[in-house]
Structure 1
Amino acid sequence: MYAERPSRLAGALVWTNTPADGGAGRVLPDGCMDLLWHEGRLLVAGPDTHAHVTAGEQGAWAGVRFYPGTAPTLLGVPAHELRDRRVALAELWPASRARRLTDLVNAAADPASGLEEAALARAAGTGPPDPLLRQVVAALAAGRPVAATADELGIGARRLHRRSLAAFGYGPKTLARVLRLRRALVLARDGVPFADTAARAGYADQAHLARDVREFTGLPLGELLAGGG
């Protein structure tokens, strides 16, 4: 069973998941990175460009899902190095430092709370997130074109691309597509007809929506909404 709640860390979510039958699950791209706990180990989930299928991953999981662009500063690793990967924290940090954090999380009342406290402590030590990155996410999530976003923020397309790779794991055009997909799925899950969903989310037409859904999730939209992911 999956459950989530807002974190005390701005923009983040704290979640837990215990698969009921060990069946396949599907984690869809969302522009985010997660700090994960599983059976006493800490891992980092990088930003995805396609659905991550969780078949065979038994046991309880917990995680903190960071607001897009904030995890690289907190974890000390550029997002593009972890794109489409799940990596043990001990592979990213010095062994003693990773072990200390793992011990603190395991000693908490529950892993989710331990992860949240760890994230809050890291945030307190690294300072506030870069406001420009939040502006990028807000603009692209609202459907603003990438070129217009770069111009409005006064940073230029090349600089925006470099910043996006480090912060989000991919360029702004891919991030915009991921965020557009998220908009479309919210509408479709609310029962909006697929053609209207495509128009309102910013796709050229329903066929364009269908292609993006299949590319990012691995399933047709109808199957995805019926419980395939």
Structure 2
Amino acid sequence: MGLEVESRPSDSPYIERVWRSRSHGVSQMMSLAASHWDLVFWEQAGQVSVAVQGPASYASPAPVPDEAVFFGISFSLGSSMPHLPVHGLVDGSAGIPDVTRRSFWLKGSNWHVPDYDNAELFVRRLVRESVLGHDPIVADVLRGASPEVSERTLQRRFLAATGLTRGAIRQIDRARQAAILIQEGVPSQEVIHRLGYFDQPHLARSLTRFVGRTATQLSDPRPPEPLSLLYKT
């Protein structure tokens, strides 16, 4: 009973992570804040659906179709589909039309439905067909580089490529790291010290907004509802 989730990293510069899951007897999960956007496929009762799920600036409860199988590609920061601007998908999603068990329609073309094992091949075709692009400045800054552009230009590029500001991305990622550490049994004071929170209330506000759980709830081995994908980077 619950939500079984499996994920793996990728060697593609366009992919943050590939994941799949299966639901059994669960109707709702807590969807964490996420700085990445996903292309999600799911099947329930023989019906296949596809959607682009945008970044999430806060955690919120989300319905889970029962007895469904999911597969998703979480794209790296800076990767985007120009015909579906990511800034318009923050805290939202866009459904993909004309979906069958084998194919779906995207930017004027018919595409084979990918799976957990061939996601990289699918993404390579997206890039080759100019459906998916990447802003190198965003990737460089996230690696610690200092590009020769103004701060205003940098913020504009981040918003265009990710839908979020650099500050929001840092806050979301830090809260997710904090949640993982707390689930691993690290005391809250140690989490505060490691991740640079000011104090306990600062950590508590961050967890509530971006994870939808308190530190006590994260420590519970049997939570009332499952969390969406939470992984170590």
Are the equivalent residues in 2 in contact too, given 1:90–1:99 (CA < 8 A)?
Answer: no
Specify the SS of the correspondent of 2:110: helix
Deviation readout 1:32-88 (Å, 9 max, x if unpaired): 111111222221010001124332423111111111221x14x63221100011211
Q: Quote the sequence identity (%).
A: 25
Q: Which residue of 2 aligns with 1:129?
A: 134
Aligned pair 1:161/2:159, yes or no?
Answer: no
Q: Which residue of 2 aligns with 1:82?
A: 89
Are the equivalent residues in 1 in contact too, given 2:60–2:212 (CA < 8 A)?
Answer: no
More deviation in 192-201 or 54-63? 54-63
TM-score calculated relative to the size of structure 1: 0.78
Counterpart CA distance in 2 for 1:115 and 1:90 is 20
> Closer, same or farther in 2 for the Cα pair 1:181/1:155, shift >3 Å?
farther
Specify the SS of the correspondent of 2:24: coil
> Closer, same or farther in 2 for the Cα pair 1:189/1:113, shift >3 Å?
same
Q: Which residue of 1 aligns with 2:62?
A: 54
TM-score calculated relative to the size of structure 2: 0.77
Specify the SS of the correspondent of 1:19: strand
Counterpart CA distance in 2 for 1:54 and 1:19 is 13
Identify which of 68, 77, 88 aligns with 1:68: 77
> Closer, same or farther in 2 for the Cα pair 1:49/1:76, shift >3 Å?
same
Aligned pair 1:3/2:12, yes or no?
Answer: no
> Closer, same or farther in 2 for the Cα pair 1:197/1:86, shift >3 Å?
same
> Closer, same or farther in 2 for the Cα pair 1:224/1:86, shift >3 Å?
farther
Equivalent residue runs for 1:1-229 within 5 Å: 1-10=4-13, 11-39=15-43, 40-58=48-66, 59-70=68-79, 72-73=80-81, 76-90=83-97, 97=107, 100-101=110-111, 104-105=112-113, 111-113=115-117, 115-126=119-130, 129-139=134-144, 152-226=146-220, 227=223, 228=225, 229=227
> Closer, same or farther in 2 for the Cα pair 1:216/1:96, shift >3 Å?
closer
> 1:114 deviation in Å?
5.7
Q: How many residues are matched?
A: 208
> Closer, same or farther in 2 for the Cα pair 1:69/1:128, shift >3 Å?
closer
> 1:207 deviation in Å?
1.3
More deviation in 52-61 or 158-167? 52-61
Counterpart CA distance in 2 for 1:153 and 1:206 is 35
Specify the SS of the correspondent of 1:31: coil
- Structure 1: tracts of 5 or more residues without a match: 140-148
- Structure 2: tracts of 5 or more residues without a match: 99-104, 228-233
Counterpart CA distance in 2 for 1:187 and 1:54 is 24
